[in-house]
Structure 1
Amino acid sequence: MSTLGRGLHGRVLEALGPAITAGEYPPGSVLRTDELAQRFDVSRSVMREAVRVLESMHLVESRRRVGVTVRPKAEWNVYDPQVIRWRLAGADRPQQLRSLTVLRSAIEPVAAGLAAKHATAEQCAELTECALGMVANSKGHRLEGYLLHDIAFHRVILNASGNEMFARLGDVVAEVLTGRTRHEVMFEDPDPAAVTLHVRLAEAIRAGDAGHAEALTREIAEGALQELDILAP
């Protein structure tokens, strides 16, 4: 597909996806692709490509003689990073953030414990670098810089766990952290206690202390939930 084609179907996706996840098209709604192609001023082929992407996310399904139907929320691929992004942009952001943070609190402590056992010297160095980057960007309203190091920090832990299933959750964690920042569900300057916990976690993993790494990660998750209670009740 040409660059123009990708741009067009991307524009359609960025309109339809959030509309579906926000409930503007309730489950069971039939999307008339011809009408939508006219509405967005795109060709039928562009519209079909957009529908294929939505199908891959399990947001819709195409049936002969029925058309494109919105699927129930229970069937959506809620781990798809784009679906997460769209839902975080909608009215159910607090619930979505809480669900994802609870998921992280169940998985990341285990991943951190495994990382303490399996992390390479290079991965330990990356963690230390990321933690120091978080410290350097934790004051002065430098949330974008902080975010980049925070995402990288958690990706390293998931990858260092040695578990490919955990590693694949890196994009999910990235979308949660990005969503909190973009939608201002974070303090203007990150909580100093949370920043310190990340530094201590990097040290625990480098020291091979699995139990301490797990405990510190749980503290980080609990702090994130408390922050949500304040900023997104």
Structure 2
Amino acid sequence: MVVDDDLDVDERVTRPLGWSRRALVAFGVLGAVALLAAGFLAGQWAPILTAPGDDSAEAGFARDMSTHHRQAVHMGMVEYDRGQDSTVRRIGYDIATTQQYQVGVMEGWLEDWRLPSTTDRAPMAWVPGGRQMLQPDGRMPGLASRDDLARLEAASGKDADILFCQLMLRHHLGGIHMIDAVLDASDDDRVRPLAEQMRQAQQGEIEALRELLKVLGAEPL
């Protein structure tokens, strides 16, 4: 054991025997670094450890609503390209750009949660009794069929305006059922605000689409 004779009595008592001043300083630095590293790792891992799981309502909603939105983006851009009425074309463009942005947000959630963007689970499996919400052929609520999309892609002018309004009206009504399902199931502070924004926007567009169909002399599907 080495005792530093230069130390006063109090310092000899408080300093561990055999430790020099330099060793104590080095030990203190290492301890501080360890604490900082632990805090950093806790900050990095805490969001992952508390994130929604792969079979959660939040993850299911993000995946299914992203798929749902992508169809709306496609239909909106078809109307913008092939429609005639300036108001309907503008709504189509607004829906496409808004929902494409929201797809990016939801994909960001899944990435942050370290979850895959796709799943083998059936659509709406994240909702209790979700199978009953599906259309007879297994499509999610409001999704247009392949034949519907083919008709829209082949239409132009006023015919495209009418069909777009009809299909998007049905699409939004189905989307609101999905939004309500996640709002009933989740208290996530990222999911709920976006879902509420979606609901408000789509409800407003539903009313606008109904009015436009009246102006165009057509009925909902």
Tell me the TM-score normalised to structure 1 length: 0.30
- For the pair shown, the structure with the greater C-alpha radius of gyration is 2
Query: Relative to total residues, which structure has the larger strand share, 1 or 2?
Result: 1
Query: TM-score by structure 2 length?
Result: 0.31
